[in-house]
Amino acid sequence: MFGPLTEERVKQFQKDHNLTADGIVGPKTLALLIPSVASTALKLKKSKRRIDWIVVHCTATPEGKDMTVEQIRKEHIKNRGFKDIGYHYVIYRDGSIHNGRDVDVSGAHVTGYNSYSIGIVYVGGLEEQKPGVAYNKLKAKDTRTEAQKAALLSLLVDLKKLYPKAKIQGHRDFSPDKNHNGTVEPSEWIKACPCFDAKSEYRRLD
């Protein structure tokens, strides 16, 4: 229950941490309320490259299905011809964060922006696969577990400390604005990845 007393406590917490005391538990407030998963799970290495973008992806796998760094790496090498896994960080369904490609090496996750970006992927992104339904017929879905949401937010907060000028966007936000109206609309997405509005959700971190 989020009533007047809770709102009052949130505002006081925000004041104590030099945040805007609006009573809204946004990304910056939440990041201070939860443990720093990224910091405790692995030691983040700052890239020697210039980083302008932090890009969020999904693995485009069915809800409830696990996938490891090694599985993604093998798929990327065998089926896509990459030299290594394309992403720099992978977030499992249990919220654990794992290293992928070395951050000093350009990733292979968003065409045209790899040289100056960090790629993060969470396991999931498609609806649960039911008997008789082909994989290519599955619909995009934000399948992030609560643990993944907390881990992703924490990782982004820590990465922003390393790259304060970098902008956070989802893969789909790099799609071309074909009608030149200043907005990348769903009909213009190259793909739905990461299957939620990362740019809007994490705008307060920018």
Distance CA 34, CA 97 (A): 15
pLDDT digits (tens, 9 = 90+) for 109-162: 999 999 999 999 999 999 999 888 888 899 999 999 988 998 899 899 889 989
| pLDDT digit string, tens, across residues 91-114 | 999 989 999 999 999 999 999 999
Residue 175 has pLDDT above 50, yes or no: yes
Catalytic positions are 57, 87, 171, 191, 193
Q: 3-class SS at 146?
A: helix
Question: Could you tell me which residue, 37 or 174, shows the higher pLDDT?
Answer: 174
pLDDT for residue 41 = 52
Domains of the chain: 1-33 (no CATH), 35-205 (3.40.80.10)
